[in-house]
Amino acid sequence: MTDIETARKLLESKDCSVVLCKECKTIEKFSRGIAPLMEIIDSGEDVSGFSAADKIVGKAAAMLFSYMNIKEVYGEVMSRLGYEYLCSKNIPATYTTLTENIINRKGDGICPMEKTVTDIIDERFAVEALRQKIFELKSNIGE
């Protein structure tokens, strides 16, 4: 079984939100949105060459996967912009459902992470912009 097949099987059989796999090593994350990807980035763990299976892959997640040097991505749901970004970086991408946009958790608009990276091309800038957006959203919770 290939790494991407293993990651996809684990994603489907467990209640993970994202699974990374390389040879015999797997990383399973359970939190929602891009939080698990930011957690991996912030940990400094080298996941270069891993394959990734994720519940939802929009452009924000696609840019983070590219930043982490993930070699292949599967998304249960993938946005057109996420797919196009991965393809532009020569990262093989597959999906079950291709959608025009990733919708926010309320279901009434575009995901704020997607809005944040819409016009960003370089994933290094995307990481910082997404950190700032997460900070802003957390700051607004108490208001």
d(CA 111, CA 40): 21
pLDDT, residue 138, reads: 86
CA torsion 133-127-31-94 (nearest 10°) is: 120
Look at strands 25-29 and 18-22 and give their pairing. antiparallel
Q: Model confidence over 16-48: pLDDT tens digits?
A: 999 999 998 999 999 989 999 999 999 999 999
Does the pTM surpass 0.85? The reply is yes
10-residue mean pLDDT series, the chain (143 residues): 96 92 95 94 97 97 98 98 97 98 92 96 96 90 55
Q: Are 97 and 41 in contact (CB under 8 A)?
A: no
Fold of 3-141: Cytidine Deaminase; domain 2 (3.40.140)
